Structure formats: C-alpha cells, structure tokens
Amino acid sequence: MRYSYINNLECPKCSKQYSAEEIQQLCSCGSPLLARYDLQSLKNDIHKEDLQSRENSLWRYHEVLPVLNEKNVKTLGEGMTPLLALERAGEELQLYKLYLKDEGLVPTGSFKARGAAVGVSKAMELGVKELAMPTNGNAGAAWSLYSAKAGIRAHVVMPLDAPEITRKEVSISGGKLYLVDGVISDAGKITAQLIKENGYFDASTLKEPYRIEGKKTMGYEIAEQFGWELPDVILYPTGGGVGLIGIYKAFLEMQELGWINGPFPRLVAVQAEGCAPIVKAYVEGKKESDFWDNSETKAFGINVPKALGDFLVLEAIYETKGCAIAVSEEEITNAQQFIAKSEGQFICPEGAATVAAADKLRESGWIGTEERVVCLNTGVGIKYPDTVDYKARYMEKIHH
C-alpha cells in the first residue's frame, strides 16, 4: 500500500504530462498543472469507511495527496475543521439548513495553512531549499511558517495594505519580507524578478502544482462530515480561487472513487463589488476573466484583479450549475457582525462575504430555504483588527 497514489502531473489545457518526482511549475503552454492519481487502484485498496479511525487532520486523505514518503510530512495539525450548523443565523436568514465550515481553526488562523502544509512538504520532498511568492498576507504567513518547519528559506512579497499581523508572522519565522505599495499583481511582478535573479522555486498561486492539493481537502472533509451526502450549495470567497478549484477537483476524484453519488453541490464564487472579475466574466458567460482595474475591498484576501486559474474557477461554476455573485463592503461588515452576535463566531471579512451572498441568493430565490448550504469561513476575524470598531465604558479604579 502506497502512502500516496499520485501518478503524474497533467495540463488541464493541453493535456501534456509531467513527472511528479521532479520540480515542476507551469505547463509549457502557460497553464497551471494538476496532480493526477491512480484512483482505480485506490478504489480497490481503500474504502471510505476506512477513514473513520484516522488522524484528525487533512493527512487522513494521504493517498490523494502528493507527498510520497510520510516522513516528509510537515504538519502543524491542519485540517478537519468544524462544520457548524448555524441555527440562530439560519432562522433569521430563512436558510434552515445553513452551515459554516470554520477554517479559522487551523495553524496561522487561515485556510492558507492547508495549501502551505502540502505545498511545503512536497517542495521539501523534491529538494527545494529556497522559495518565493507574492501574497495578500495570509498565504505568505502560512508558507513562511511551514517553510521554517521544513528548513526552507521563504521570500514573501506583499502589498503594504495586507493585514499587518501577516508581516510579523513572516518575520518571526525567519522568512524574508518584501513590501510594495500596490496590489498582489504588483507583488507578483517583484516575485518574478526575484526568481529570475536568484533561481528560487516559484511558490506563486497555481505556479506550483501542490497547494491546490492541500486546499482540495476541504471538499473531502465536507463530504465526509456530511456522511458522504453532499450539500446543495457551497459558497466560497474567491480571490485566486484555488480552494474552489480544489473542492471541485475533490468531488471529481471522489466520484471516480465511488465515494459520492448524485449531483455535485452548486459552487458559488463570492467576490467583493470592488474586485469582481469572476462575477463579470460569469455574467457575460465568458470562460476567462479580464484584469480588474483599481480593485479595492476590506476583504483583502479576495482582492485579486486577475487569477491565473480563472478559467478553472469558471469551469467549476458552469459545470456544477453554480454562479458568481458580488457583495458590497457594507454587506460584508453587516454579515460579520451578524454572525458574531447570533453565532458567537468572529469570522473574517472574506468569510462574512459568503454569508452576505447566501442571504442575497436566498432572497432572489436562487437558493431554496430548505437547501443545505455551506459557507466557507476562510480565517479568523482577529487577523483583521482594523475592520472592526469597539465601544467601551471607561471606569475609574475602586480604591478600598
């Protein structure tokens, strides 16, 4: 029994094949590469019931992850996050089967830990010593921390407006931090320059093929946590879109494994009105998105003007009969406060955007009141202190 059933890497655009035992980046055609597994063998070797007794992390799905040797797994306990029924919030929103998957309960407080755990472990297995990447903050923090554990040197380029705490996460873990007064595409250009000059491994979103493998485990977990009966709708805050692509990939794999049946959940890409390239492409029925100029939103993780994997995001939406929807800054703030007051969860603005979107889609009738709906909260609210105010009563000391 192999620890990983990975076969190779494949280009989803031109179908060219690549070895998974050497360092790879993009396909020669410019597309991201996707990992392919020997699912037919795995189907015979493992049954989904075998998973029950496994460790409580995303590594319970190690056969469909790319790390060949278990000793190369660098884990901080990431994965198997709570899937919570939002009873009070659901009642108010008239979504009577509303759930939130809380990705705040992972190392680094953000779902980026999933991609970093798998991406860094595989990079180490392949002999990477030094890597570079652009980030809106959380991914860079996660990659820097996991790289520290793996003994890899990380170079992280982020916009000045990224959450300040993520600078400190990079710095304290020994990563080299670069700041630029721009958006993530500006950070991307600087990263490309650093890589060209120094030969670092390019860990940019989808330019390395394994981060998505970590992210896809959200799809496996949702299926397993629902007893392999998939929900009707999954709402995902979409910047680079890797999680949404990953969840869709997980469903395709599980279908081939015979672990799930019936229609897939309708996947919804949620964006902010100030940065909605996927929504625009969806509304226009296009297969790729255009660069979104002067993008702006407090949900900083989804401030991505043009995603490399946009065509895969749109494919996942179209194939699952999903949709893409934008929400306003005010709707994000209101949803964040609403969930804190009704459910006791201080979620991040990106996660709040999915709750706001669920509300709008229920109002429009696109989501039915009895459908099973999962909102993905991609991180803790505490990483974004500036998005929240407070009121306090100042008291005098009592002397006695």
Binding to a copy of itself, residues 186-205 (CB under 8 A)? 186, 189-190, 193
Q: C-beta of 259: minimal distance to a copy of itself in Å?
A: 20
Q: Using the 8-state DSSP alphabet, how is residue 264 labeled?
A: P
Helix (H) or strand (E) holding 179: strand 176-180
Window contacting a copy of itself (CB under 8 A); options: 37-45, 185-193, 196-204, 213-221? 185-193
Q: Which is nearer to a copy of itself, 46 or 105 (CB)?
A: 105
Least Å distance, CB 380 to a copy of itself, is: 6
| Cα gap 360→70, rounded to integer Å | 44
CB of 84 to a copy of itself, least distance (A): 6
Helix axes 211-225, 242-257, angle to 10 degrees: 60
Nearer to a copy of itself, 153 or 280 (CB): 153
Residue in 212, 211, 235 with CA at minimum distance from that of residue 222: 235
Q: Looking at 183-191, 240-248, 271-279, 322-330, which segment touches a copy of itself (CB under 8 A)?
A: 183-191
CA distances in angstroms from 283 to 123, 168, 276, 322, 353, listed in the order given: 38, 39, 11, 12, 19
Rank residues 12 and 77 by Cβ distance to a copy of itself and give the closer one. 77
H/E stretch holding 199 = none
d(CA 237, CA 232) in angstroms, rounded, equals 17
User: Is 120 within 8 Å of 143 (Cβ atoms)?
Assistant: yes
- Considering the rule CB under 8 A, would residue 51 count as an interface residue with a copy of itself? no
Q: Which of 136, 173, 295, 320 binds a copy of itself (CB under 8 A)?
A: 173
Residue from 323, 327, 352, 202 nearest 273 by CA: 327
- Whichever of 178 and 366 has its CB closer to a copy of itself, that residue is 178
Distance CA 223, CA 210 (A): 21
> Binding of a copy of itself at residue 241 (CB under 8 A)?
no
Of 66 and 140, which has the nearer Cβ to a copy of itself? Answer: 140
Q: According to the binding rule CB under 8 A, does residue 149 interact with a copy of itself?
A: yes
Q: Are 359 and 84 in contact (CB under 8 A)?
A: no
Burial of 77 (0-12, 13-18, 19+ CB in 10 A): middle
Which residues, 351 to 380, sit near a copy of itself by CB under 8 A? 380
Is 176 among the residues that bind a copy of itself (CB under 8 A)?
yes
Q: Does 59 bind a copy of itself (CB under 8 A)?
A: no
According to DSSP, the β-strands at 34-37 and 6-10 are antiparallel
| Region near a copy of itself per CB under 8 A, out of 35-43, 150-158, 300-308, 366-374 | 150-158
Q: Which of 1, 29, 4 is nearest to 16 (CA)?
A: 29
Which of 63, 343, 350, 359 is in the footprint of a copy of itself by CB under 8 A? 343
Q: Give the footprint of a copy of itself on residues 70-99 (CB under 8 A).
A: 74-77, 80-82, 84, 88
Which of 168, 196, 287, 321 touches a copy of itself by CB under 8 A?
168
Number of residues in contact with a copy of itself, rule: CB under 8 A?
75
Q: Does 104 bind a copy of itself (CB under 8 A)?
A: yes
Decide if residue 139 touches a copy of itself (CB under 8 A). Answer: no
Site for a copy of itself in 2-41 (CB under 8 A): none
DSSP 280-340: HHHHTT-SS----TT---S-GGG--SS-TTHHHHHHHHHHTT-EEEEE-HHHHHHHHHHHH
Q: Contact between 136 and a copy of itself (CB under 8 A)? A: no
Which conformational region is residue 199 in: left (phi greater than 0), alpha (psi within -120 to 50 degrees), or beta? left
Of 33 and 194, which CB lies nearer to a copy of itself in the complex structure? 194
Decide: is 148 part of the binding site for a copy of itself (CB under 8 A): yes
- Based on CB atoms, which residue is closest to a copy of itself, 10 or 125? 125
Q: Output the smallest distance, CB 166 to a copy of itself, in A.
A: 9
